[in-house]
Amino acid sequence: MTLMSTAQRPSIHSPGRTSARPWRMTLGAQVEADGVRFCVWAPERARIDVVVDDVGESVSLDKDEGGYFSGLMTTAKAGMTYRYRLDNGDVFPDPCSRFQPAGPHGPSLIVDPDAYRWRTLNWQGVRMPGQIIYELHVGAFTQVGTLDAAIEELDELKETGITLIELMPVAECSGRWNWGYDGVSLFAPARAYGDHEALKRFVDEAHARGIGVILDVVYNHFGPDGNYLPQFSSLYLTDRHANEWGQAINFDGPGAQGVREFFIQNACYWISECRLDGLRLDALHAIHDDGPLHIVAELSQHAQTAAGDRAVVLIAECESQLIRTIQPVERGGWGLDGVWSDDFHHICHVAVTGHSEAYYSDYRGTVQELLSVIKRGFVYQGQRNDWRGKPRGTVVKDEPAAGFVFYLQNHDQVGNHLRGDRIDILADPARLRALTALFLLAPETPMLFMGQEFGASSPFLFFADHGAELAPKVYDGRKKFLSEFPSYATKEAQDAVPDPSDLASFERSKLDLSERTSHAEIYRFHRDLLRLRRTDPVLGRQDRRSIDGAVLGPQALALRWFTESDDDRLLIVNLGPDLTFVPAPEPLLAPVSEGRWNLLWSSDDPRYGGPGVRDPLSDMGWHISGEGSTLFAASKQSIPPR
């Protein structure tokens, strides 16, 4: 007999097999000293057999009162493949498989999580303050498109000033290319990016260079192809809540405890076994939970426990701009560390492109909006939003600046253009440099999208390799979404929408890393700004309370960092034409007592492709060049004796 029965499934809080890790996964296949323990939740099934291909055996698992089937197979071992037979019928991959060597429809691989030998053993994790986030898609970041190929670029990212890499979703999904939001095997890193230890190698090598890694995870829907969870239980999904991507996930109805445990274990798995430094939680506005403790709040508590002594960060994408995402659980929040600010992106987009269609229509792109979002994190904090036809956002109070993630580009905002155009294509270079300075020096946490630092010319198109049946539907859905932009709703524009299933859509989205050299000016520009942010003690404080701003003209602003030691900083940004500000009845422009302003940096530096640096401040007053930004430091000047 090769199966030892178990009377009760192990708790998710149980340490299980002896290990230095503070948390151990119990769902799926767990390698133990005397075999492999299998565990799967299927409360509506009467019988489940585990079929291990390599030993040619099929044995029945025991069911407990909670609906968990489990058992220890003594002849199974790491490296073998297996599936589950449900009620003497069809076989399916493990919903908690750690790797799917033949894709989501094939058998699951037994992986020993302790087999990988970590080389960076003293990594302490990351916290939000001081981070420079870099969002990347593994398949498009390099021409090879694997995690091992991405390792070769870590030194360059380190030198650039990146401190935290955010990987777009890597959970296994159907097809050869995908943005990652169609994941169905949520515990299995995609085979397209490497073997079952590729992600661990990438994280390990990043940590060796002092770079953290977080992962984008999707807990609001499943992909349309290869999701076998409903075969194990109908309780995973529900129609009680609306969801734009199919059925919503059942976090608060009958059977929800088993569903919640599945996702909590998934989050803890990435953090504990793969040593990721946190998660970016996709579209929290589409995660519905009317129960007493929201699933995101419960997940955040378990995630930190799974990290042990390491610090981890959890970041929300929340279109509704709920400030509770980053408020402590004990105050009724969800306990996350950061939240994306679409407001900042949308204001900047309108400011430098002049286009305000669709969801951009609720923004004017004014310098006052820019100052407001920098001081407040969000500009919509409960006001009615015309595009959505309802109030948007919640009130921001004392939440730290580091908790708001700002960006000029991300995968969605680039991909939502007809041709996947980056903002470099849409905006004047000088205006963009001026705005980028404000973006990278503001107290909030900046996030760059891969290639942004060197002005990548490659687009980032929407791509998804689905089968012949699904591909036309996905293509039509993409056209329908883009038609929300009036300029993309015309027949000519609709005909020009790239087909997501076309290999060319994926291949064209890959970075040309040689542009780091051919676009040296803009690359130098970003690296210098990131170095300035990192090394300047005033800019690095990330304190919203110590800054103030003023409108100097129709497209010009001043942002001042105040210090108790009078070591202030002043940033002048002008997105419009030359501005003569004489006289200057604005107190933020006043020097510190018995001091003066010294020019530190300018976006007009010829090394960045600018026309040449001209100090806008003279004895005659302020003469501010158009489409530029300048940074000043306060200094005391010696007072001559009388």
Catalytic residues, by residue number, are 282, 317
83, 28 contact by CB (below 8 A): no
Count of CB atoms situated within 10 Å of the CB of 392: 22
Question: Inter-axis angle of helices 429-441 and 342-353, to 10 degrees?
Answer: 160
Residue 433 parent element (H or E): helix 429-441
Q: How far is CA 207 from CA 21, 70, 151, 311, in A?
A: 17, 36, 11, 13
φ and ψ at residue 51, rounded to 5 degrees: -115, 110
The owner of tokens 């030993």 is 55
- Residue 487: CA count within 13 A, CB half-sphere: 8
304, 271 contact by CB (below 8 A): no
Residue from 66, 78, 20, 67 nearest 43 by CA: 67
Tell me the C-alpha distance between 108 and 188, whole Å. Answer: 9
Residue from 223, 349, 215, 340 nearest 277 by CA: 215
Tell me the C-alpha distance between 357 and 554, whole Å. Answer: 22
Sorted by sequence, the CB contacts under 8 Å of residue 327 that are 6+ apart come out as: 333, 334, 335, 399
Q: How far is CA 313 from the centre of its chain?
A: 11
Residue 132 parent element (H or E): none
Count of CB atoms situated within 10 Å of the CB of 143: 11
Tell me the C-alpha distance between 274 and 5, whole Å. Answer: 29
Tell me the C-alpha distance between 414 and 157, whole Å. Answer: 21
φ and ψ at residue 4, rounded to 5 degrees: -100, 125
For residue 537, say if its preceding peptide bond is cis, omega within 30 degrees of 0.
Answer: no
DSSP one-letter string for 347-377? HHHHHHH----GGGGG----HHHHHHHHHHS
Count of CB atoms situated within 10 Å of the CB of 209: 14
- Tokens found for residue 296: 């995101």
Tell me the C-alpha distance between 601 and 174, whole Å. Answer: 49
Count of CB atoms situated within 10 Å of the CB of 639: 7
The owner of tokens 């890694």 is 213
Residues in the chain: 642
Going by DSSP bridges, is the β-strand pair 338-340/384-385 parallel, antiparallel, or unpaired? unpaired
Angle at 28 between CA 299 and CA 287, to 5 degrees: 30
- Tokens found for residue 496: 């020009």
